Structure 1
Amino acid sequence: MHQGMGLATFNALPERRAVHALFECCNHVAMARDLARGRPYVNHDALFRHADALLFSLPDVAIDSILESYPHIGARPRSLKSAAEQCSIWNDDSTVMTKLDRGANRYRDKFGFGFVMYVNGLGCAAVSAALDDRLHNDLETERKVVRNELAKINRTRLERMLGPEGGYQNW
């Protein structure tokens, strides 16, 4: 994964390499290409705003395609190990993963696409509660929530790709 290259290096990359780096962040070729063609960006925030604008302009079918690249929550044992340890109501990882897997399956059955959430250190109780809450949404509301979650994930990945102002010296 491209990490810490800095904005100047990113702006100077050949288009093909920039698209590759951006695809790692947003999981959508057309969006990565449009972001690469929007260079040069004057600052990180300009890139983030453009990424958000492109994400929110994509048709639902493109969002569904992006969601296919995310893992099914509850399907990767130990992926929430630290989260499982925070949950005193669940005794072991398999119980946590089973609960999340069942919730994710109900979610997919209801909405037709997979559950995605910007977790950033949240424990399994918070993820499970959010999943349960979002199952009460109608399709239109949930599609808006999903785009907001994807925007948060994209921003985190773009921040990691760029690193601090000026990037790291290995680039």
Structure 2
Amino acid sequence: MSPSSSPPGLGRFNALERHAADAALREACASAEWGRRLLAGRPYATTDDLLLASDAAMAELSTEDLQEAVSGHPPIGRPKPGDPASAREQRGMAGASDELRAEMLELNLAYQDRFGHVFLICATGLTGEQMRDAVKERIGNPPEREREIVRAELGKINRIRLTRLVDEGDEGDEGEEGEGGTSA
């Protein structure tokens, strides 16, 4: 289904009671401000409208709101226990060697020391090696530049999660690529 169409799941999302819609949005992004902005825009006519609202909300998040959003993501290689979405998002690390897992842990700790939060990347279709290379490349960024990269990565993750939210139940989830949103 194209993002410009209106899947039945979008109608269900638009019709949810505010607290239920807020909970659904918190599953997509931990930022309360991002969720408030999306709730204020309901009802959405199309998935594209919802995604554009997400992009606009993400662009306007303060540094504190951005930090809140990042706090909802576990490190890459350590998905949230019992959370199938987290496991799906981290699929690229599923077959990683012990050596690569150890290297990712070391890199994430160095990244956290430098930036104060986990390394975050939209990992859809990325291998463990590609994620490792990304953290190696980004660890040298100035904090301002890295903050904007994180904002862009969160935006990508939110788009994937929102699309899944409004498509949920309309088509099966089988065979989907993982999306990351998680860190090394």
What TM-score does the superposition give when structure 1 sets the normalisation length?
0.82
Structure 1 contact 7–43 (Cα < 8 Å) conserved: yes
Partner of 1:38: 41
In 1, Cα distance between equivalents of 2:22 and 2:126: 31
Contact kept? 2:38, 2:54, Cα under 8 Å: yes
1:49-105 CA distance string (max 9 Å, x none):
1111111111111111221221123446x96123x2xxxxxxxx3211110011111
Moved over 4 A (4+): none
Partners of 2:36 and 2:42 in 1: CA distance: 10
2:140 is the alignment partner of 1:136: yes
1:105 and 2:109 correspond: yes
Alignment partner of 1:121 is 2:125 = yes
Which residue in 2 is equivalent to 1:87? none
RMSD across aligned positions (CA) = 2.1
Quick one: distance in 2 between partners of 1:122 and 1:41?
31
Aligned to 1:147: 151
TM-score of the aligned structures, taking structure 2 as reference length: 0.77
Q: CA 1:75–1:161 in structure 2 vs 1: closer, same or farther (change >3 Å)?
A: closer
Say which one has the larger Rg.
1
Asked which structure has the greater RCO (Cα within 8 Å, sep 6+), the reply is 1
2:170 maps to what in 1? 168
Aligned twin of 2:84: none
Q: Please say if residues 5 and 161 of structure 1, whose CA atoms lie closer than 8 Å, have aligned partners that are also in contact.
A: no
Gaps spanning 5+ residues in structure 1: where? 85-92
Which whole-Å CA distance do the structure 1 matches of 2:28 and 2:35 have between them?
Answer: 8
The partner residue of 1:58 within 48, 52, 61 is 61
Unaligned runs of 5+ in 2: 1-6, 80-86, 172-184
TM-superposed deviation, 1:33: 2.5
8 Å contact kept, 1:75–1:101: no
CA distance in 2, matches of 1:118, 1:27: 15
CA deviation profile, 1:128-170 (whole Å, cap 9, x unmatched): 1111110121111100100000001000000000018xx639x
CA distance in 2, matches of 1:168, 1:126: 32
Q: Number of matched residues?
A: 154
